[in-house]
Structure formats: C-alpha cells, structure tokens
Structure 1
Amino acid sequence: MELATAALGSLLPKLGTLLSDEYKLQKGVRGEIRFLQTEMESMQAALERVSRLPAHQIDDLNKLWVRDLKELVYDIKDSVDTFKVRVHNDPEHAKPHSFRRFFDKTIGLLTKAKSRHHIADDIQDIKKRIDDVSKRKERYNFLDAGVQPNTVEIDPRMPSLYQDAAKLVGIDGPTQKVIDLLKGGEDYRENLRVMLVSVSLKPDMKQILSSILRQVSKDKCTNAGEKDRDELLRSIRDFLVNKKYLIVIDDVCNVDAWEIIKCALIDKNVGSRVIVTTRNMDVAKFSSKDGDVYELDPLSNKDSRRLLCKRIFNEDVGIHSDLEEVTMRILNKCGGIPLAIITIASMLACMSNRTKYEWYGVYNSMGSGPEKDRTMDNMRNILHLNYSDMPSYLKPCLLYLSLFPEDFNIPVDDLVRLWVAEGFVEGKKDSNLYDTGERYFNELVNRSMIQLIHINKVGVAEVCRVHDMILDLLISLSAQENFTITAKGLRLKSTVCKIRRMSLQGKVDGNIENNRKEEMLLPTTVDILHARSLIVFGNAVKLMPALSRFSVLRVLRLKDVPGKNIHPKDLGSLHHLRYLKLSGHVELGLLEGIGNLKLLKTLDLRGLFIKKLPTSIVHLQGLEHLLIDLSKLPHGFGNLTSLQELSRLNVDKSPTALAELGKLAELRTLKISGLDKNESCMKTFLQSLSNLGNLRTLECSDDIGPISLDNMSDQWRGPVHLHIFNGTLLTLSALPRWFSSLSELSYLSIGVNGLRQVDLQLLGALPVLRYLHLCAHLDQKELRGGVTEERLAIGGNQTFRSLAVFEFTNYSRLWLVFEQGATPRLQRLDLIFKSSICGFDVSFENLTSLKHVTVEIDCQESRNTSDKVMNDAFDMKTRIRDAVGSHPNHPTLELSIRFPECSNDWLSVRTC
C-alpha cells in the first residue's frame, strides 16, 4: 500500500516537469498531462485513506486495485523517463506529438484499471467530472464498501507478558541496570526521572490514557472510557498530585505520542518514576529527562543456549553431542534475539525425533524468503509490526536491502547513493539528496531495522548489515509487492510478469563449461525490460542476461566483471542509468561508450583494473560521485562541474589535475594522493582548494613531510565548511593559520613538526572538534639536540570543549598536561610515546568524563634492551596504572610496552 503511495508521490513532480517549455508539447498533450496529474492526486488521497486502515480490514478488491495502480504508475514513470531521454539525446527526432501516443496508451490502461474496480467505466466519464472535487471523492467512496468488519487481533507478544519470572533467561544483568537507573544518584528521591528499555507496538492514545486513569485511581474512575483525551489528561493529573508513583508505559512509537502522555504526568519532586519502552531511539532520546536510555543487548551464547533448552526440554539440560553443531548454527543465525530463539525453539520442540537431520531442515528454512512457513508466522508478524509503523518514504529504502545476500556488509554511503539513483529520496528545497538519504538511514537504525557494523571515530555509521530474520521478512514483503526478485541459483523462480529489481546471488561452477547454459534461465513469461536495478554478486555475473534486455535500468552493480560478457555498445546504451559500479579485469574499450550515459550520478570503478579512464568521461556533466583507485584522469575532467565526491585523485598520474580541481565548485568530498612537497605543487593545490567552498571532507593519503599548507597571502581563505581533515600520514612544518577559521571541523588527523603552545590554543578553540589525532615529530632544533624536554598545557576554560576522542602520538621531547576544566567531554584518550620521556604527567584527574585509556610505551629506540630501559618502562607502567586506577570514573585501561626483541629488528608488544 505505502509503496504505491510513495510511487505516486514521486510521479506527480515528474509529470509536472513535462509542462515546462523545455519539451514544447502541443496544447492538447499538455492538457492531458494536467488531467493525469489531477487524477493521480485523487488516487493518492484515496490510497492514503486506505493505508490508514488496519491490514485485516482491507479486502481483496482494494488490494488488487492498489497492485494494478502501482504497476501502472511504474509504467508511466518508465514512459516519462524514456521520452525525456529521447528529447535530451536526440532532440531532432523527438517530435512533440510523439508523446501523444504514450498518453493514448496510458489513458487506455487507466480506463481499464478503473473499470475493473468500479472506479469509472471509461475515461470520458472521468474528464466530465474532473473539476468537481466533491464528485471525485464520491468516485472513490467504494473504498468504504470494501472494508471488512472490525475484528480484534491478538497481540502476538501477549503470552510473554504472563510468563513465569523463574523461566526468564538473561534478565539478571539488565534487571540490575534498570534498578540502578530507577534509583539514580543522590537526588533520586527528589526528581521525576524517565528511563527507557526496549521494543513495542503501535499505541492507541485514548486507550493508554484510559488504562493509566483506571490504574492510578484503583478503578474508582469507572467511566474512563467515556472521557475524551483532554478529560483523561485532567483526571490523571488530579489523581497524581502529590503522589509518588511508578508507571510503566509500553508501545510508545513516536515523539508525538510521548508528548501527549507526558502532559498527564505531574512531577512534584516526591521520587516518582516512569518507565517507557520503545523501539525508536529518537523517542528514547527525546523522552529521557536525564539521558538515562537503556538499550537491551543481544543474549550471550550461554543465555541463548539456556533459552533454547528451556523452550524445547522445559529445563536447563545440555544439547546432545549430535545436535551441537546444528544448534550453534541455528543460534548464530538468531543473533541473540530472544524472539528469534523462541520461535525457532518452538519449531524444534514440535519434532518428535529431534534428530540432527530434522534440525538441519529447520536451519535451512531460516531465511527462506517468500516460501510460506506457518511456524515462522508469529515471528514475522511481530517484526512486521515495526515495518508497518514506518512512514511511506522509508519502506522502499528498507525493502531495497533485500537485494543483498545474508551477512553482507553494506557501505552506508554506497547504500544512500543507490537510494538516490532509484529515486527513493525526496528532494527538498535547499537540501542535498545525499544528506536526506543519510537521515533516512539513521531513522531505520533508530527503528532497529538495520544493524551497525562499523562506526567511525566521530560517531558516523560506515558499514551496516541486515539481521537474517529481518532480511527474511524483507524478501517476503518484496516478493509480495513485486519490489525485488532474488535468484540464488541458475534458474530464476518468479511468478510475476514484470521484474522491477533483480539480484543474482547464485554460486556458479568455476568451470563455466560445466553449466548447460551461459545465461540465467528465465521463464518465458518473465519481462525484464522494466527492471530498474540489476545487482550481481560474485561469479553469478557469468550467467546474467544480456544488458541489451534492460531498457530502463537505473542501477547496475557488477562485481568481478569478465569483460567478454558485456558488449561495450550495450553498456553505452543504458541511457537511464544513474548508478554504475564495476570491478574486475576488463579492457578499456568496455568503457568507450560511457560518455553516452548523460543521467549517470555515481560511477564507482574501484577495483576495476584499468590504468586510465576513457576520454568520454568528461561529457558526464551530471556526474556527482566519481570513485576510482589509481586510474589516470583524462584532460578536461574539470568539466565535471556537478561532482560532489572525487575519490581517489592521484596527482602523479594526472599532471594537470591540480589546476582543473579548482573548477569543481560543488565538490563535498575529496580524497587525494600523489601530492609533491615542493612549493609550486602545494601552492597550486591550495589555490584550487580556495575555490572548493562546499568541501566537507578532505583526505590526503601521502606519507610526506614536512610540508607547508600556509604559503598563501593573507587574503587566501580555506574551505570554511570542512568537517573532516584526514591527513594521518601528512606531516606539516607548522600548523596553518587558516585552521582557525574551520569552525565546522569535527575530525582532524595530522602530524606537526615542533608542536607549540600556540598550536594547542588554535586547535582548542575549534568549537565542534570531536576527534583529534595529533602526531608530534621532532623539529630541526630537537634533531640537533638543542631542546630539552618541554611541557605544553591544554588549558582550562572549556578548551577543546567538544573533544570526545584524543589520540596523541609523541615522538618529540615535549609532553602534554591537561589543566582543570579542559576537554570536559573527553571520553577516550590514546597515548603512544617513547620511554625516554621522564616527565610523564597527564593529570588524569582533570579529565572528568574519561571512560577509556590506551597507552603504548615505545622502547624501540633502544636497539639493545637494557635493564634500565626495561625498568623505566615498567616503572612508567605502574605510574600510569595507579593514575588511571585512582580516577573517580574507573576508566578501562589498555597498557602495552613495545620493545626490540633480542638483537633483531622485529618488535614485540607485551600487554600489561
């Protein structure tokens, strides 16, 4: 239902673009477009009405109407895109009246779809009533007649609410944490605190308020169900005045719901408590008064086994040795999720023989996709509740994840680029589509539908994954909606006529001659002409259909491409393509026609073993992401004025690159290598950098230095919107003065020769700097032995006020001391320094938020390990351990000593 709504929402502005003067359509055609726009708007309103109904109240007739409407919308979008491509690619042959044939066909389809479902008998009847809004409403009132009678659904989580506490597994630790949060600190008797735990369903606000009123009044208020919402709120407040209370509220799914509930709660500083459960992290953060959010961790392996045994054998007994291996595989797939473990255990408990062969049958059924398995229904129903509660714009983004295999690590930025290419991300004025896509991703994470696998040092998610149980649901839903089709073998199993998105994941014999056919076997009834995405994993690329069969493809993602399987003309004819990712060994000729792909937004050739890019790439003026390894860029790549990301530009291989770089004014991410430390090269680089006013990320991967980034005039200005400067291997002769203007910088990694107090003052004033990796090298005076050990102070008065992670590698003869009031938010401190530094004194006690400390003492400068070196190192270890141990936060400590082993040059690390 929501997918049809989302499709319609993206179609309406697409139709509007056809009315611009650019296409010069005839008057009659423009009128038909306006009519179709109005008709689609009414359909969208009707769909929204239906979508507000519970799923069980929508009859089959409406479901069929929605299905046909969605397919119709997709066909119209494809036709519109095809017409626009024809206009842009061949304006002389794209006659204005050619669009009339498209609309004649579309109107015919529309009439057929509506007559089938009693919307209207023919298009003439629709045209006569187009201006009458009220009559248009009446035309869709059949929806009310198709609603099935109200039925009461049983909450599938209900049995767990009345479970015997003695049978619960893995709750001891979480119970104590919840108790500690309820108690709070010294003021726990005074302030009302709100603490959250986990997942829930869609709330009925009136029902929740009525339930609260009945319980707090001890059933004295017998007419709670007759009161409206405002009356309920006032009555609850009257009962709670000056009372100490503990209220547990389940099913809070959005911020608005919590805002209403909060109105009923009076805080008179008598020690009352409220526990709210939610699956939405945004709700958790918003409703938590003091930041007390408790996230349930997955069950441990031990507790997972206990839960499985209790459900199957009704007691804690060991698993028979024959079942050990299959049991561990099943539990690994469940990932510590109690719901998954209980559901699978229920299936196993129903088996009379309980042999490993039967259990392997259950294991193989997990993640079965569209195949119906009644024993999995309960789990799917519960997972489906969270999906159903999502806004319509998130659902296609989530379902798109069904194209990826189980346990596949998905780069977040790549996923967002795919969403944008498919048109799932709604464009808004003054907003970047990719920023909006990142917000979509964060919403899905907050709703616990996506697992984060890797988060970088500033808290940004970089890699994600979908849990097997969620993936199973997505595959099933995608098949029902004809959203995606996945092939895991040589033959595609599909009952649909038109495939919209296809993923090939089958494992193919390494010897292709051993297979009967060198192409994916498709049923004759299957139409792939309308496929919008083709994603192929591994050597399944050898069996994919010819690219010439995909006429409206938007996304093509191929790994390990064998060049002989793709004809250059086929690749260059994919005029609708927005996203292209290729890797493997191919000839340069394969990419000759790439300049024809005028709509291409993302070109990802990382892992494609070619020495240079084709010259035709300079014609892709709409390209926004160019991702390459060490390939040579052609002269004129500065014409790619829409580029937002360039990774990785190798200056050595592209001599004119630095001069042309300054033309890319829209660039937001630049990863560069091959920089030369000579003054002329750096001056050209800085001059180009001054033109990149939109730059957010700058990464230099050169192990060079010392270099200067400060040899420009006082009028020169750096990229003031820079968020990330990653120059881990870059050593600066001095900290540039223009760093002081980087008020949005949150991540900085650099090396500096001869670190000075003024440098620390400059960095400490950066308002949003969260991560700092600073490597202090010896300057010329220190190399000549003219400088003794020196202390530099990171002062108080809220310097480094946003810093959360500080990594300090010290190869110089100075030391840092933290004064009181400095780095008030610092949680992690990583130190690497030589054992020759005798004046070690960090002043850990002044780091009030410290949670983790890592220290590595480097003794490798002493080529022969002496007793003195070892004694000094272990003495410093003791001092560090004592200093960290006396910290009131009791931070964790990882401490190691690196020293030469015997007489060879290999280094060893001993962790203490």
Structure 2
Amino acid sequence: MAETAVFFLLEKLTLLLEEELKMVMGFKEEVEYIKDELERMTAFLRVADAAEESDPELKVWVKQVRDVTYDIEAILDKCTLHLMQNELPHCNTLYIFFTKILRSIKSLRFSYKIGCEIQSIKSRINNVADGHQRYRNKFNIPDHGLNLLVVNNAMYERRDDALLLEEVDLIGIEWRKTELIGLIKEKNSPFKVVSVVGMGGLGKTTLVKKVYDEAAFKKNFQSHAWVTFSQSFKIEELLKGLLQQLFDEIKQPVSQEVNTMNCNQLKVIIKQFLRQRRYLLVFDDIWSTHAWDSIKLALPNNIFGSCVIITTRLIDVASYSSKQSDGYIYEMKPLSIGEAWSLFCQKTFEGSSCPSHLRELSMSILKRCAGLPLAIVAISGVLATKSASKIDDWVMLNQSLGAELEGNDRLESVKLILSLSFNDLPYYLKSCLLYLTIYPEDYVIEKNNLIRIWVTEGFVRPKDGRTMEEVAEGYLNELVNRNLIHVVRYNDDGSFKSGCLHDFLREILLSKSRDQNFVITTTGQHTIWPNKVRHLSIHGKLSNLQLKRCGAQLHSLHAFGMEGTQSMSNLLVMLNNCRMLKVLDLRGASLEVVPKVVFKLFHLRYLSLRSTKVKSIPRSIVRLQKLETLDLKDTYITELPSEILHLQHLRHLLVYRHVEYSYLPFDCILGFKALKGIGKLASLQKLSFIEATLGSDIFEQLEMMKELRRVSILKLRKEDGMPLCKSLQMLHKVRAISLSSIKEDEIIDLQYISSPPPFLQRLYLNGRLARFPKWIQYLHSLVKIYFRWSQLEEDPLEYLQELPNLVHLEFLVGYLGSELCFKAGKFQKLQLLNLDKVEPMRIVIIEKGAMTNLEKLIIQRCNFLESVPIGIEWLSNMKYLEFLICQMVSSSKYNNMVKTTKKLPTFLKYTTLIGRMVVGRLIH
C-alpha cells in the first residue's frame, strides 16, 4: 500500500521536474531531494508491505512513509490549485495590470507558506530515511539485494492452527468427498491433475484431506505424500520433505547425500522413485503458476493412473495445472442455506435447535458468513460461549463484527486465512481491493463504474497499446481470479459484470483501511474519523459533528443512500473545505440542481449525479477542466451546455434515462440533444445516448472521435443512412454500437458499410431494417446482437449462423417469417436465445448438433407458434427455459407442448412451461 502511494507520487514529481513547472515555486532542489529519497525507499517498501503485519515497528515506519507521501501530494495539489486560480481572464489592460499586482502579493505569501511546508517535509523525510536504514540493518539487506528479505512466517505458522479448526465433520463434506472421488475415478487416464479451487475458508484442504484419508480410495495407489506450500516456500525444502515421506512409507532411510543436492538433482531422485509406481500426491495451497512449475518436472507422467491433487485460491493456477494433463477443476462453492444453518446450529447449540427468540438474529449473523464454513465454525465458537438468554450480547456481535475480528481469539484464524490472500497481492492491486470498502455491505459493484473510478484515482499504471480502462479491467479480472470478489453476474461473453465482497473479507479490509487512513466509512455520528481522511464513504446520514473532520487531503467522497435535507446541507458545507477532491459520487442524492460548490472543485475528475432529479447542467461546468467522467444516467437532463466542449480530458459521457414500463416499449431510453462540435471531445471513449436531431453535424463529428469504444445514437432517420455508415466505418476502436430509429416504422439504413469496425463485440439495432445488413456476417468478434422492431423479411439465421463468437441472440418483433431453422453444426458458441413477439412465426426447428452450448432459451408472446421448438431435446446443456404464451390456446395444444418438454434432459425434468394465458389467468 505504501509503495503504491509512493509510486504514484514519484510519477507526479517526475512530471513536474521534467516540465519545470512553476509549481516547484523556487524549491526545485528540495523537491529533487525528496524525490530521490522516496525512490531509494520504493523497492524496500515492496517487501515491507508484506512483512508489516508481523512486525509492529515496521508497521509504524510504513505508516510514516505513507503519511509523508500524502502530505507531499497535498502540497503539489495546492500549487496546482493556486496556479489555476491565478489564470487571468480576457479583460481590459488596466484590469489585468492591477490584478497582476494583487496576485503577485498573494503569490509571495503563498510561496512563503509552501516553502515552510516543503522544508518541514524535507526534515520528516530525513527522519523516515534514517528509519529505513535501521531496517536495512535489522534485516541485513545489502543495497543490491532487496530480494533477499525473508518475510516473517508467523502468519503461515498460525495458518496451521486455522487448518486444525477446519478439521471438523463439516456439513456437506461427505457428499462432496464422494463427488470428488467419483470424478477422479471417472477419468481412466494414465495421469491426471485435479485442481480444487475456491476462496480461503471454504474447506478445500478439509475436503482433500477427507479424500486423501479415505482408505478404500487410498489403497488404489502405491505411494502417497502430502506437501503444503506457502507464499514464501523454498523448493529445495519441499522436495526434501516429499522425498522423506516417500521413503518413510516404504520404511527405508533417505541417503545423506540428499542434504547436499541441488533442486534439479532432487527432482531426478523423486522422478526415478515414482516412475514405476501408481502414486497419489497432494500439493496444498499453491499460490502461483511458478510454484506449480517448480514441482511438476519431478512428477513422471507414467501409464499407471497416477493422480495429483492441488488446492489453490487462484483460478488461473487451477486452470494452468489441470490443462497440462488429462485433469479438471473442482470448484468449491459456499454452503447452501440449509447446510450453513445445520452447521451453525450444530456448533452453536451443540446440535440442538435454535431458540425461537434468537432465530431471526442467528439468521442475520449467519447471512454475514455467506456460506463460508471456516467463518461459520469460528463465529459459532464465539456464540457458544454466550448465554442464549443475554440477547444483547448477540446483537452486539452482529453489529460490531469488525471489532470482534480484531479482538476475539476465536475469530483470529478467520482473519489470518483471509488476510493471506490480501498479503499475496501485488502492490498495485492492494489499493484497488481496499478501495472496494467504499461500498456498503452487500452492495452489488458494477464493473464499468468501478474501473472508471480506479483510473480516476490513479491506481492504474499505463501499458503500451491498451487504454487505462482496459488495464483496470485486467486488474479486476485478477481479483476475481483470486476469489477475492464474488461474481454476482456475468456478461454474455463470460466476463465479469458485477460482484460483491464477502462480509468477513470486507470487515478485514475495512480494518486495514482504517489503520492506513485510506478509506473511512460512516453510517452516522458515532463513527470516529482520523484527522486526515483520504477517501470518505457516507452511508445514510451525515451529522454536524463530523463536518470538521475532513481536510485538504480528501480525494474522493461517495454518498450512498443520503438521508434527509440536513445531511445534504452538511455535505455541501463539507464540500467547501474539500478543494482537492478528485471523485464526487452523489448518486441517488435528493438533488434537483447541481450545487454551486461543485464547480469550485478544480481537481475534480469524476462526477456522478446518477439517479438524482437534476434537470440541467450550468455553464460553469467549464471550470472542471480535469473532468474525465460525467455520469448523468437516470437524471432529467436532455440538453448540455456548449461549454462542456472545453473539457478536453472527458473520456466518459453518460446522459440517458430509462423510462418506466411494464413491458419493453420502443422508446425505452431518453438521451440528450446533439451538440454542434461535439467532435472536439477527442478523448471520449463512451458516448451514451446522443440524439441525431435534424440540423446537427453529429455524423461528421463522430468521425473525429477516434478513441470511442462505445457509442449509442437515438432518433435516426432513413436519410441518415449514408453519413451514419460513413462515420461508423471510421470508428476503428469501437466495441459496442447501439442504434435506434426515431419511430418504430422508421428505417435504419445500414447498407453503405463496406468495412465495419473490426473489433465490434456488441450490436444493438432498434428499428426497421429494409434489408439485412450483410456486413454483420463478417464481424468475427461479435458476442451479442439484438434485433428489435427490425421486421426482417429474409431469414437472418443464414448470415448469423457462422459467427464464431456469438453468445447472445435476441429478436423482438425482429423477423416476419413463418419458420426459423437452426441447422446442425451452427451457432456453436450461442448460450442465450430470446424470441419475443416474433410473428407470424409458426415453427422453430432445432436440428441435432445445433446450438450445442445453449443454456438459456426464452420464447414469449410468439402467439402463432404451434408447438415447443422441434428438436428441443437435443439441447443437452440447457439450464433455463422460459416459455410464455399470452393468448388463449386449446387444451390439446397446451398438452402437446407440455408433452414435448418432457423430452428434455433429466436435469430439466422439473422444468415445464412457465405458463399460458387462459381466460385472463396464468397457470403455472
């Protein structure tokens, strides 16, 4: 964490010194000295961040580095603000003359003040640097050998205690053991690697230990060994331990020469020993693909059916190791609600049922465990010591879980297990993960919103050939891969769409954030704030008592569920003292106008007024020259001032509102009127939703916006066809296009595209298509396509069936033919098919071998359809079927449909038609 802060500060200092800006205010040598000292500390901080938890003195030193870094950044931000405020307007000469004199006097005062602060910082840096040298001496680290630092292993020793806690007869462990053994036996291959993957505390080790100790299973193998890795493992020691177990099993001594062998020699000995044996090896808690690579060459791929089982928290490690053999991945899932409740009662009430007066409270506590066995066992151990008659003790634990994690020895194992995953993160991901504590408990975090904020906050390092948003998405995928973010919803292409934090992990991260003054969350007047707050998240109310706790170092402010006019008034007072703010998220706040104080926040880069009642944006928006994201989604804004065109750093412009409806209408989205000259926003990546009003130059302007990744255009007319196509062909980086005509019967003419955007992934077409745009069949990157109100007369499947990556296909009044036939071998990647109000379609045919990966089929309001799709029984991977008829049908026709659904695979035998409308009544 401290290294992250220093790294980004160094980038800023380097930029200032290279450009020799006035911001150094005559103190260039002092600034260079500070920069040099910080550079000398950076590499040491990388290992210090990982070791500080086990060394209180080191933790204090890291905090000092972090604090001084934030103070330096605050000084630089003050300089920037001072210069911006001193820019002279275009006025008469006499005014400029007197203004220059006045501002020169102010600048002298400001320079003196900044000079004093820099000298103070220099003195603090010297003290911190002395502490740095003391720690070099303590760890005996040479200047050229920072990588020789060995992180204290106390946490890994305590991890063994946590594993002992897992060694209980957990609910559901037996059927999971049987399932895993069955899967291992199912594949009769000569050699396989089975990866058991899941977040810490799910019971991976417990499950594998049950399998490993199962006598009937174990007897199938001649040699057995269990090796536990750690984040700081030494491969020579692991190999010697493995060899010792193998020789102990046959009751033979290991040669003394082994003690002097190097890594490769040890691998040769192990490989020779195992070559003629059927062996079962377990490698527990592997943290990287490097760790697997370090051991795999010692394992002979013989023909006897040997098996290696690994446990890991990382999905990419599981995939990497299993794919190199005829193996597979076994993903551990949280306990079901029923299993969790049984385990909770077994451990809390010694197998008895839960007292009725504690049931609701127990369910609330259990919900926070989110099916994590280790958490359930640990918290049950705490509750078992509390009297069932003292309900206040139970209420206190439920309300102060974070404090219990800090001070209760019974919960220490949970904290240690989950903290290991955090400590293993590369430094650039630690800030990203800690930042997630801005969100309330159980809040569903949206991917696009999160990565935009990460970029704005400066957490993302640039990479050649990729936008900052693409790099940030890579960061997010890495956290998901490490099972630190629970996926709530996937995109159609399988990528992350939204997710949340496990409650226990969130509490641990909240504690770390508070310790580091990184993120402070407040739910009312009882929250204790530190003197310096960097990121503030307000959940609910904001009291008068808290107003003075925010200073100049506040970088971001998020308000969730802001309650009451008093809280909003207090918030506006607070904003007057937060001139260095970069992120302001007021989503859902009770606002009808944008507060004037917002336009005094010259450092602001991210502004969200989403889901407010704001109706207009004032011209003073021009003051926010650094603004990168303007989120006005679900507000009442339909026009933007021309001054917004001066915001040259703007990357994301979201101005649209979904109308309320009971069923999807044609005009379901309202956008904003096109601005003349909007092409001046050359950095724009997302433009949603702009109206192609008569007389606007929107299409010519689009050609100038070379960085666009997503563009959404409303109110298109037939005559717009040629200029629209010409502009779309120029958007070589675009990934998503949404086009809507001005009315349902208006034609969107897309016949003039000869060279479509090469990387287009999502295409949404809302409006009539006179002919099918044949260029669509060449969009090899296309993942999703919608045809809504397209009224196509020719069969669209002919042009779509060969698309190699198409996952989601939807028609709403999209086709006027009487038959759709999905041919054998086509649509091989398709997972979701939605046919809605496709009339007069009577027959849907699915040939054997078509849509082999289809998981979800929705057919609704297709009132002329004569039966369930012919060949539906071939869809062996289907998991969800929705079939809705919104008109009266004969009993014979309905019974025929039900009979056809019974041909579906066994796992769908309980799925029938969602319903039919008969005499105004829906029958399930």
Report the TM-score, using the length of structure 1 for normalisation.
Answer: 0.84
| Cα distance, 1:645–1:370 mapped onto 2, change above 3 Å | farther
Give the match's secondary structure for 1:896.
Answer: coil
Partner of 1:68: 64
Task: Determine if contact 1:563/1:590 at 8 Å carries over to the other structure.
Answer: no
Partner of 2:158: 155
Which of 690, 696, 711 matches 1:649?
A: 690
1:617 maps to 2:630: no
Cα distance per residue 1:463-484 (max 9 Å; x no partner): 2222221111111000111111
Give 1:3-42 correspondences, 5 Å limit. Answer: 3-21=1-19, 23=21, 34-42=32-40
| Cα distance, 1:235–1:381 mapped onto 2, change above 3 Å | same
Partner of 2:123: 111
Task: Determine if contact 1:708/1:734 at 8 Å carries over to the other structure.
Answer: no
Partner of 1:357: 392
Cα distance per residue 1:82-139 (max 9 Å; x no partner): 4445556756789999989857743541333323663699xxxxxxxxxxx99xx999
Task: Determine if contact 1:453/1:463 at 8 Å carries over to the other structure.
Answer: yes
Give the match's secondary structure for 2:195.
Answer: strand
Letter in 2 for 1:75: D
Q: How many residues align?
A: 847
C-alpha displacement of 1:396: 0.5
Partner of 1:174: 176
Partner of 2:224: none
How far apart, in 1, do the equivalents of 2:238 and 2:151 lie? 26
Give 1:783-862 correspondences, 5 Å limit. Answer: 790=819, 792-796=821-825, 799-809=826-836, 810-813=838-841, 815-819=843-847, 821-832=849-860, 834=862, 836-838=864-866, 842-844=870-872, 850-852=877-879, 854=881, 856=883, 858=885, 860=887
Letter in 2 for 1:873: Y
Task: Determine if contact 1:622/1:642 at 8 Å carries over to the other structure.
Answer: yes
Task: Determine if contact 2:270/2:298 at 8 Å carries over to the other structure.
Answer: yes
Partner of 1:307: 343
Letter in 2 for 1:521: Q
C-alpha displacement of 1:55: 3.7
Task: Determine if contact 2:617/2:637 at 8 Å carries over to the other structure.
Answer: no
Partner of 1:459: 494
How far apart, in 2, do the equivalents of 1:626 and 1:293 lie? 41
Letter in 2 for 1:420: V
Which of 898, 901, 907 matches 2:918?
A: 901
Give 1:326-725 correspondences, 5 Å limit. Answer: 326-352=361-387, 354-368=389-403, 372-490=407-525, 492-494=527-529, 496-507=530-541, 519-522=544-547, 526=549, 528-537=551-560, 538-539=562-563, 540-544=567-571, 545-563=573-591, 567-568=595-596, 570-583=597-610, 591-629=618-656, 630-632=671-673, 634-651=675-692, 657-658=698-699, 660-673=701-714, 675-676=715-716, 678-700=717-739, 704-705=743-744, 708-713=747-752, 716-725=754-763
Task: Determine if contact 1:794/1:819 at 8 Å carries over to the other structure.
Answer: yes
Partner of 2:666: none
1:202 maps to 2:263: no
- The unaligned stretches of length 5 or more in structure 1 are 122-132, 509-517, 783-788
| Cα distance, 1:347–1:856 mapped onto 2, change above 3 Å | same
Give the match's secondary structure for 1:772.
Answer: strand
Letter in 1 for 2:522: A
Higher mean C-alpha deviation, range 292-301 or range 700-709: 700-709
Letter in 1 for 2:14: G
Task: Determine if contact 1:567/1:590 at 8 Å carries over to the other structure.
Answer: no
Which of 266, 283, 286 matches 1:252?
A: 286
| Cα distance, 1:114–1:657 mapped onto 2, change above 3 Å | same
Task: Determine if contact 2:822/2:850 at 8 Å carries over to the other structure.
Answer: no
Partner of 2:799: 762
- The unaligned stretches of length 5 or more in structure 2 are 89-99, 201-229, 657-670
C-alpha displacement of 1:833: 7.4
Partner of 2:893: 872
Task: Determine if contact 2:2/2:62 at 8 Å carries over to the other structure.
Answer: yes
With a CA cutoff of 8 Å and minimum separation of 6, indicate the structure with the bigger relative contact order. Answer: 2
| Cα distance, 1:608–1:762 mapped onto 2, change above 3 Å | closer
How far apart, in 1, do the equivalents of 2:848 and 2:617 lie? 63
C-alpha displacement of 1:730: 3.9
Partner of 2:664: none
Task: Determine if contact 1:198/1:278 at 8 Å carries over to the other structure.
Answer: yes
How far apart, in 1, do the equivalents of 2:74 and 2:897 lie? 69
How far apart, in 2, do the equivalents of 1:807 and 1:139 lie? 64
| Cα distance, 1:453–1:654 mapped onto 2, change above 3 Å | farther
| Cα distance, 1:532–1:819 mapped onto 2, change above 3 Å | same
1:213 maps to 2:262: no
| Cα distance, 1:189–1:765 mapped onto 2, change above 3 Å | closer
Which of 809, 816, 822 matches 1:772?
A: 809
Which of 327, 330, 333 matches 1:294?
A: 330
Task: Determine if contact 2:30/2:122 at 8 Å carries over to the other structure.
Answer: no
How far apart, in 2, do the equivalents of 1:486 and 1:637 lie? 38
Partner of 1:511: none
How far apart, in 2, do the equivalents of 1:142 and 1:196 lie? 36
How far apart, in 1, do the equivalents of 2:155 and 2:403 lie? 29
| Cα distance, 1:491–1:682 mapped onto 2, change above 3 Å | farther
Give the match's secondary structure for 1:753.
Answer: coil
Give the match's secondary structure for 1:277.
Answer: strand
Partner of 1:512: none
How far apart, in 1, do the equivalents of 2:197 and 2:156 lie? 25
Task: Determine if contact 2:885/2:917 at 8 Å carries over to the other structure.
Answer: no
Identity over aligned pairs, percent: 27
| Cα distance, 1:447–1:175 mapped onto 2, change above 3 Å | same
Cα distance per residue 1:326-348 (max 9 Å; x no partner): 11111112111112211211111
Report the TM-score, using the length of structure 2 for normalisation.
Answer: 0.83
| Cα distance, 1:893–1:303 mapped onto 2, change above 3 Å | closer
Higher mean C-alpha deviation, range 21-30 or range 341-350: 21-30
Partner of 1:515: none
How far apart, in 2, do the equivalents of 1:148 and 1:709 lie? 63
| Cα distance, 1:411–1:369 mapped onto 2, change above 3 Å | farther
C-alpha displacement of 1:696: 0.7
C-alpha displacement of 1:553: 0.7
| Cα distance, 1:670–1:147 mapped onto 2, change above 3 Å | closer
Task: Determine if contact 1:853/1:893 at 8 Å carries over to the other structure.
Answer: no
Task: Determine if contact 1:452/1:461 at 8 Å carries over to the other structure.
Answer: yes
| Cα distance, 1:878–1:241 mapped onto 2, change above 3 Å | same
Letter in 2 for 1:311: K
Letter in 2 for 1:720: P
Higher mean C-alpha deviation, range 812-821 or range 633-642: 812-821
Give the match's secondary structure for 2:308.
Answer: strand
Partner of 2:227: none
Task: Determine if contact 1:724/1:746 at 8 Å carries over to the other structure.
Answer: yes
Give the match's secondary structure for 2:913.
Answer: strand
Give the match's secondary structure for 2:763.
Answer: strand
C-alpha displacement of 1:276: 0.8
Letter in 1 for 2:581: L
Letter in 2 for 1:77: E
C-alpha displacement of 1:28: 8.1
Cα distance per residue 1:312-358 (max 9 Å; x no partner): 343x2111222212111111121111122112111111224553232
Task: Determine if contact 1:852/1:893 at 8 Å carries over to the other structure.
Answer: no
Cα distance per residue 1:511-552 (max 9 Å; x no partner): xxxxxxx735346xx451110011122224343243121121
| Cα distance, 1:359–1:693 mapped onto 2, change above 3 Å | same
Give 1:878-897 correspondences, 5 Å limit. Answer: 878-882=899-903, 884-885=904-905, 894-896=911-913
Letter in 1 for 2:340: S
Letter in 1 for 2:60: L
| Cα distance, 1:672–1:245 mapped onto 2, change above 3 Å | same
Give the match's secondary structure for 1:192.
Answer: strand
